[in-house]
Structure 1
């Protein structure tokens, strides 16, 4: 019970989901409260609604919940903010998921049981229910990663991943400060450098509520920038 777990969740305009999210994930951190220092960390990414206020209200009755807030920078920069916070606070394990209630907290335990066998256990969304467009984007990403880095992975960007903090710390410095696809590249680095990782099947439901901030123009823009980023990061991969 000595393992210190930080569950990292970015949130943007999630007032419709945030209370359900806290009620779903808080019992997980309670069960794995190593030395009384495990935390559920929800990071408000400059929401325009009352997401952060709801987090602050929930803190009163959830002592292991920690709400953080920052100026809006996008999902990737917020995930990195959370990872760096976990590293700074000397968590043993980082678990990352998202705030739209598409992932199932009941699937956490099988990941946790594998933590001593693998350095990272990463979700594999082979049956996604979040739309054909996002499935297509992930397939294109996997093809590009195979071309640029020679890695064969089933899911690069799943927001359901348990990682040793030491492993994240080992590779996070390779990424730009506010890189928009950190989970994609961390997964790629883990595979490229033959770290001891495993992919495990998870369910992935439709969005629980609220408005999806990712649309086709944003997807095209992210994809365009990703091509240049992959070329640049490949050149620097052994630095």
Structure 2
């Protein structure tokens, strides 16, 4: 039986020429006929063949593609991407195909009780330096804001549109959109659930979020962002 929930699947994309077709095809095939959905691809000024591939995919699949002439960065690209969905629930997924499309069905049953459902990586398959940075960052988030969540920077999340309507305009402190969304939503008393999901090692290419060389800059930016967000929310802590 087809699920009556309507969702908007949103993929932020930057330089994913090797995997974007696989990502779109497999998510589309997993959801087709089982749930009503729209599929949105928000491209962020790619410098490889990603744009050409997306244009080709528009002829094969009912996707809505939004192209950018310049690189905006992950957070700004995600925020802009989330201006387009029309449905009540937004399934926001990183486009590097490190998650299993079938795990969407692990998140969906929780929409009646929660406003944000995060697919947390059961066994993370990223390079060691990324795992260490992520664990350290999530530890600091828990320490600074006294929240219980384990994986606040996950790339696999199901979000009610009312959450975005109340928080989007306020997100500006942290480099990673989901982390700040979770923190601000927590203090607005939205209900948040974490569900373990499968995480794959990236098979082709490399991460476009940051490299080893950029670690010092990323750490400094995030520490500044943490203190800024803490200052803004201090009266609620």
Give yes or no for TM over 0.5.
yes
Contact in 1 for aligned 2:11/2:95 (Cα 8 Å):
yes
Determine whether 1:204 maps to 2:214.
Answer: no
Task: Indicate conservation of the 8 Å contact 2:6/2:35, yes or no.
Answer: yes
Match for residue 125 of structure 2? 129
1:12 to 14, 39, 58: 14
Secondary structure at the residue paired with 2:119?
strand
Which stretch of the first structure deviates more once superposed, 5-14 or 212-221? Answer: 212-221
Are the equivalent residues in 1 in contact too, given 2:175–2:225 (CA < 8 A)? no
Q: What TM-score do you get using the length of structure 2 for normalisation?
A: 0.89
CA displacement at 1:2 relative to structure 2: 5.0
Q: 1:33 to 1:59 in 2, by over 3 A?
A: farther
| Residues 174 and 222 in structure 2, CA contact (< 8 A), matched pair in contact too | no
Please give the TM-score of this superposition, normalised by the length of structure 1: 0.89
Tell me which residue corresponds to 1:50: 49
Q: List runs of 5+ in structure 2 lacking aligned partners.
A: none
Q: Does 1:74 align with 2:73?
A: yes
Q: How does 1:116-155 map to 2 (within 5 A)?
A: 116-155=112-151
Q: Go from structure 1 to structure 2 and tell me whether the alpha carbon gap of 1:82 and 1:103 turns closer, same or farther (over 3 Å shift).
A: same
Shift of 1:227: 1.1
Structure 2 residue 29 is matched with structure 1 residue 27 = yes
CA distance in 1, matches of 2:12, 2:216: 22
Residue 97 (structure 1) aligned with residue 96 (structure 2): no
Structure 1, gaps ≥5 residues long? none
- CA root-mean-square deviation: 2.0
**How far did 1:75 drift?**
1.7
Find the residue that maps to 2:66 and give its secondary structure: strand
SS of the equivalent of 1:39 reads strand
Tell me if the contact between 1:150 and 1:192 (Cα under 8 Å) persists in the aligned partners: no
Shift of 1:146: 2.1
Q: Distance in 2 between matches of 1:27 and 1:43?
A: 20
Query: Is 2:174–2:226's contact at 8 Å kept on the other side of the alignment?
Result: no
Cα pair 1:119 1:196 within 8 Å, conserved: yes
Q: Which runs of 4+ in 1 moved over 6 A?
A: none
How far apart are the structure 2 equivalents of 1:234 and 1:68? 34
* Structure 1 pair 29–79 and aligned structure 2 pair: CA distance change class (3 A): farther
Task: Answer with 69-78 or 99-108: which moved more.
Answer: 69-78
**1: distance between equivalents of 2:212 and 2:112?**
40
Q: Distance in 2 between matches of 1:179 and 1:55?
A: 29
Query: Does the 8 Å contact 1:5/1:29 carry over to 2?
Result: no
Give the 5 Å matches for 1:158-197.
158-176=154-172, 180-197=175-192
- For residue 191 of structure 1, report the CA deviation from its aligned partner: 3.0
